[in-house]
């Protein structure tokens, strides 16, 4: 997403992997974190967290994205995505149009939440700790890492949504996104079999999405990397 897109109020066409309940759960957690933080208790109040702009942006994104996930995608008639052999099911990628200004607002709020957590702001640390409880068992270092991941949840959401459309170190990824969006847009109700070139693009987009969610947050086997 470019600054020009956000300034013009444009919509960004995103490639979103269908992670079933996993991504919707993450979106729900982010909404609850935003609801739990009182901007008036932050001194000074950071502009990205002032008012309810980020919260409403999160709700609009959830409304647009949820139809691409799991049972909602099935109910909407979204088809399967198949490897070039026509037999192996791949984790589907869905084309979702999102307002550029909402993505910009959420990205800014995510950066600010992470900064406040790292700075040790009492309210933000307490809220993040509350949502991190029930995380992985093990040594205290494992919980601290999980808690920091929770603080960065909004940044990871934005990263996944724009993984194929933001500028990249690998310029091939943006070209891959153009190729795949052209292939998948308007084909929601049918099964699609990728060509070899499309499958190679799919692999690169999958890696970009994995990095955005924090490395191994998405199991690459889901993307058919075992073939």
Share of the chain above pLDDT 90, in %: 56
pLDDT at position 227: 41
76-82 — which CB contacts under 8 Å span 24+ positions? 76/188, 77/188, 77/189, 78/18, 78/188, 78/189, 79/187, 79/188, 79/189, 79/190, 79/191, 79/192, 80/191, 80/192, 81/184, 81/191, 81/192, 81/194, 82/191, 82/192, 82/193, 82/194
pLDDT at position 20: 87
Confidence of residue 104 (pLDDT cuts 50, 70, 90): very high
Question: Tokens 């194929």 appear where?
Answer: 164
Confidence of residue 7 (pLDDT cuts 50, 70, 90): very low
Helix (H) or strand (E) holding 36: helix 21-36
Task: Tell me, rounded to whole angstroms, the distance of Cα 147 from its chain centroid.
Answer: 18
Whether 82 has a pLDDT exceeding 50, the answer reads yes
- What's the whole-number mean pLDDT along residues 114-136? 91
Confidence of residue 223 (pLDDT cuts 50, 70, 90): low
Burial (CB count within 10 angstroms: exposed 0-12, middle 13-18, buried 19+), residue 106: buried
Phi and psi for 52 in degrees, rounded to 5? -115, 20
**pTM metric for this prediction:** 0.86
Q: Which residues, in sequence order, are CB contacts of 91 under 8 Å at separation 6+?
A: 17, 18, 19, 81, 206, 222, 223, 224
Q: Which residues, in sequence order, are CB contacts of 31 under 8 Å at separation 6+?
A: 55, 58, 59, 62
Whether 171 has a pLDDT exceeding 90, the answer reads no
- What's the whole-number mean pLDDT along residues 80-98? 90
**Span 187-218, pLDDT tens digits:** 666 788 999 999 999 988 888 888 887 755 45
Please calculate the CA angle 22-25-31 and round it to the nearest 5 degrees: 145
Confidence of residue 14 (pLDDT cuts 50, 70, 90): very high
Whether 161 has a pLDDT exceeding 50, the answer reads yes
- If you compute the radius of gyration of the chain from its CA atoms, what whole number of angstroms results? 18
Q: For the chain, how long is the longest CA-to-CA vector?
A: 58
Domain enclosing residue 58, as ranges: 3-223
CA 216 – CA 223 distance, rounded (Å): 12
Domains contained in the chain, number: 1
CA-wise closest residue to 72 among 32, 18, 17, 16: 18
pLDDT at position 6: 47
């Amino acid at each position: 997403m470019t600054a020009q897109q956000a300034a013009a109020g444009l919509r960004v066409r995103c490639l979103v992997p269908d992670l079933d309940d996993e991504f919707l759960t993450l979106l729900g957690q982010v909404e609850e974190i935003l609801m739990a933080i009182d901007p008036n208790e932050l001194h000074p109040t950071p502009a990205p967290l002032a008012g309810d702009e980020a919260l409403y942006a999160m709700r609009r994104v959830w409304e647009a994205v949820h139809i691409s996930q799991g049972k909602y995608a099935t109910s909407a008639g979204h088809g399967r995505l198949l490897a070039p052999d026509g037999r192996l099911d791949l984790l589907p990628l869905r084309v979702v149009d999102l307002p550029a200004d909402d993505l910009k607002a959420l990205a800014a709020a995510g950066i600010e939440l992470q900064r406040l957590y790292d700075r040790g702001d009492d309210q933000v640390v307490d809220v993040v700790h509350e949502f991190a409880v029930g995380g992985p068992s093990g040594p205290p270092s494992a919980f601290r890492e999980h808690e920091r991941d929770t603080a960065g949840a909004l940044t990871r959401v934005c990263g996944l949504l724009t993984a194929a459309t933001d500028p990249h170190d690998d310029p091939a990824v943006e070209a891959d996104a153009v190729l795949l969006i052209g292939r998948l847009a308007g084909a929601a109700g049918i099964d699609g079999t990728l060509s070899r070139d499309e499958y190679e693009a799919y692999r690169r987009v999958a890696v970009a999405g994995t990095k955005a969610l924090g490395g191994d947050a998405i199991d690459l086997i889901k993307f058919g990397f075992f073939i």
